[in-house]
A and B are shown apart, each in its own frame.
Chain A
Amino acid sequence: MIVKMKFFTESAARCAARIGTLSEIERMPDLIFETPLLLIYTKRGCVPHLTKDVLKMVTTEQQFLSVSLPSTITMAEFVKQTPSFTDFVSMQEYPTFLSINDPAETTTSGHQEKHSISIWAKHGRHILSPDSYMDIVETFKPDMYVALCDGDTDEKSSAKRISKSIERSKTQLETCLLRHNSSNTIKSKGILGAIEGGYNLHARERCINYLKDKTLLGYVIDGLHKNGPQVQKINTDQIRNVIEHTINLLPTDKLRVSMGSWNPATLVDLIDMGVDVFDSSYAYLATEKATALTFLCDHQPTDNHHTSYVISVAEDKYADDFTPICKSCECLACQKYTRAYLHHLCHCKELLLLVLLMIHNTHYYLQFFKTIRKHIKEGTFKEFQKKIHLIYDKKEES
């Protein structure tokens, strides 16, 4: 009898913030991850800017990694020489979730065919059929992955485009599921189905009706955006209808994943609507812009620097600011380094800037998720959600 990855939640409410657990990962039977869960964003098999020993300075807790194809697909032939992707990149002790697109990179549109989709890696296009995709899955052996799908839609997509995306994703899922269930190497892994349909409620419904009867660990709510930094600008009003409609149709006992660099305000709303799993591309993109997240630091009214959502260390005012990014943050960057030093590193274009910012931003975002779970458990999530909106909306105005 094979152990299968499990999702469990006590919450019976359909569209509300909920606590759940992910467990019985085949490779790591003792691990239990609580949801809402933040997957740590990786690129080419590493957390950007952080070597593994530094990652362990960021958090001593067990983490779940997100891996995406555009930065890893060219490694496939070499991964074959090793037992799995995590072996090849030396991240064996971390479970992984494999997604098709890179949440931090804007997806190159077009070139999707009925039986294949295109992945754009650094050196060009890769065409993936469900079978060639499943070959990669069997090589990589992620602990959780999404069936091949065409999520190349957003709010501007036409009805025709949406319809095609649904049809393709359906055909592709059929083949993937068949391969999944007949493969000894991966049948114990968690497979997710992608819910497509753009912003068309009826299309979403059609897609869910089809997926409902399949044996899946859960669903990826896909087709809302084309990844990359633009996702940060999406506010809840733009997606509320489609998310609520989608989640209301989903069974409550299945995992719900939403990839992308959602801003914290939209993210708490997604959690409030019942989404369970996210990735940390937001923290990575903040780092790439030389900014440090500070949106939870607003409880220090005496410090005017802390009123903003993020701080941009390049700004002149930090040149002689010998305080940490955030006084209450316990990360290595805040414990040992000052804004003045970060400012200096920024102006010298030194690599250590990105290391320190990534340490802070990753730590900070993980803390954010811890706080979210605590508030859900204690029944104070709604207040916390309001607080996050207050900070974020203020920034929007200014």
Chain B
Amino acid sequence: MYLHSAYGLWNFMCFGLKYDKLCDKYPDYEKNNIQMSEKRPALIFKVITECQTTKARVGKMTVPHHTVDTPVFMPVGTKGTLKGILPEQLKQLNCQIILGNTYHLGTKPGIDILQKAGGLHKFMNWDRALLTDSGGFQMVSLLKFAEINEQGVKFISPYDDSECMLTPEYSIKIQNTIGADIIMQLDDVIKTTTTGTRVEEAMHRTTRWLDRCLSTHQKPNEQSIFPIMQGGLNAELRSESGLQLTQRKVNGYAIGGLSGGESKDDFWKMVNVSTNILPKDKPRYLMGVGFAVDLIVCSALGVDMFDCVFPTRTARFGCALVLTGQLNLKQGQYGNDTAPIDEFCNCSTCKTYSRAYLHQIVTMETVGCHLLSVHNIAFQMRLMQNIRESIKKGEFPQFVQQFMLKVYPTKEYPSWIVDALQAVNIYLA
């Protein structure tokens, strides 16, 4: 059964390739733009408050399914579900937007089922905002023989060894079917630490693929394609990428090619370069970032959206997020600990359960995993809310200083944090 359904999809994907070759005409992007002006745009972004010290800002991003407060953290629900947490619970956690993975959803349940279901929102009973990735990153990182050429990502089907191709057009076609509010262009994914001409090639190709994505897009009134800024760790290339992308008509931007093993120094500098180039009136999405200090530093650098699998993944291994890192509740020391995970956390887990009881059930009962996931998502949501509130109150720099002091009580701040914050006028003494 497993093989059967998956096999069907790969055939479809390969078919998609032939189809792409046969049809050179696609619905005209200009025409879609006319339609767009008649209806409400697929995304309205309003900056509510700008921090007077840093580049941080609070915004409201209205997409067809929800109005999202930014800076926002987006939990990852890879296959149309989020680690045993009901959408009803996610709403209680004040979760406004979640992420789905196109590669996984295209494999199972497959676009045929998603089409029949009327899109992922209906299929999974999530009526708030959704974002999907292009599938390219997952392919390159999950499949052994993925290879990129001008046409797209070529890969060998793990089911029948046939050669298949994920083109920019096909990625958008799947994402049109999934129906997320925000969708990602297919980008030319390279290792973050790649250097040399390949970085430049990937950057230019990503722009060319953006144009192909935009011109094939079927639902510009309902879904916004975000281009992905490339350029690796090279500030000039990144600026060039930004320049090219900002010439296209889009509703927001993703900062790609980071959070992949580069040094923290390179990381923050590239984020800083990226947000300097990107227009202020569009949301900026930094892909794959979710640790608390990173969220704070990058919010200060002007990023509006984040995603990461870490909070829910770590819950599965019995770990709960706290300000200073994480508690591994499997450890014996928690057996007699009657305190909640975090006494200041107002999530249903912390209000109800002790560490001692969680110690008994983590990794034994699925409920243990659910309870930690609830707390970990609540932790991320509360952090983002605190960031937004402090910006609104004009107290963001103080908030950042106090937060860092709590995380590093001995004031042994990592130098990259000191430098990054100094770049936006926050000084850690």
Contacts and interface: CB of A to CB of B under 8 A. Distances in A.
A57 B88 contact: yes
Interface in B324-353: 335-336, 338, 348-349, 352-353
B357 A355 contact: no
A344 B117 CA distance: 12
Interface stretch (B144-152, B271-279, B364-372): B364-372
B49 to A, nearest CB: 33
A352 B81 CA distance: 7
Given A347-B1, A352-B84, A355-B84, A53 B116 contact: no
Interface stretch (A163-171, A260-268, A275-283, A332-340): A332-340
Nearest to B364: A44
A75 B336 CA distance: 10
B80 A344 contact: yes
B109 interface: yes
Interface string B260-274: 000000000000000
Interface string B364-400: 1111011100100000000000000000000000000
A322 B116 contact: yes
B46 interface: no
A320 interface: yes
B79 A51 contact: no
A88 interface: yes
A51 B371 contact: yes
A90 B352 contact: yes
B194 interface: no
B335 A49 contact: no
Given A81-B338, A82-B338, A351 B366 contact: yes
How many B residues are at the interface, by size bracket? 35 or more
Given A53-B348, A319-B5, A352-B84, A89 B357 contact: yes
Interface string B1-33: 110110000000000000000000000000000
B173 interface: no
A354 B5 contact: no
- Residue among B81, B348, B371, B374 with the highest chain A CB neighbour number at 10 A: B81
A234 interface: no
B83 interface: yes
Nearest to B316: A351
Contact of B88 (A332, A341, A354): A332
A50 interface: yes
A336 B125 contact: yes
A390 interface: no
A49 to B, nearest CB: 5
Contacts, number: 120
Interface string B80-107: 1111111011001000000000000000
B123 A354 contact: no
B124 interface: yes
A258 B116 CA distance: 46
Interface in A326-373: 332, 336-338, 340-341, 343-345, 347-348, 350-352, 354-356
B234 interface: no
B5 A347 contact: yes
A5 interface: no
Contacts of B68: none
A43 interface: yes
B124 A351 contact: no
A319 B4 CA distance: 12
B337 to A, nearest CB: 10
B246 interface: no
Contact of A340 (B113, B357, B361): B113
B336 A90 contact: no
B360 interface: yes
A51 B92 CA distance: 14
B354 interface: yes
A285 interface: no
Contacts of B82: 352
Contacts of B154: none
B89 A319 contact: no
Contacts of B2: 347
A217 to B, nearest CB: 29
Nearest to A314: B1
B212 interface: no
Contacts of A75: 360
Contacts of B81: 345, 348, 350-352
B108 interface: yes
Contact of A45 (B113, B116, B361): B361
B178 to A, nearest CB: 13
A43 B365 contact: yes
A316 interface: yes
B366 to A, nearest CB: 5
B356 interface: yes
Interface in A354-396: 354-356
B348 A51 contact: yes
A78 B367 contact: no
Nearest to A354: B366
- Residue among A82, A88, A348, A354 with the highest chain B CB neighbour number at 10 A: A348
20 contacts: A45-B357, A49-B367, A52-B352, A81-B336, A90-B352, A90-B353, A316-B1, A320-B112, A332-B86, A338-B123, A340-B109, A340-B116, A340-B123, A341-B123, A344-B113, A347-B1, A347-B5, A347-B109, A351-B83, A352-B83
Interface of B: 1-2, 4-5, 79-86, 88-89, 92, 108-109, 112-113, 116-117, 123-125, 335-336, 338, 348-349, 352-354, 356-357, 360-361, 364-367, 369-371, 374
Given A82-B338, A348-B81, 6 more contacts: A44-B360, A48-B365, A52-B352, A57-B88, A347-B108, A354-B84
Interface of A: 43-54, 57, 74-75, 78, 81-82, 88-90, 122, 314, 316, 319-320, 322, 332, 336-338, 340-341, 343-345, 347-348, 350-352, 354-356
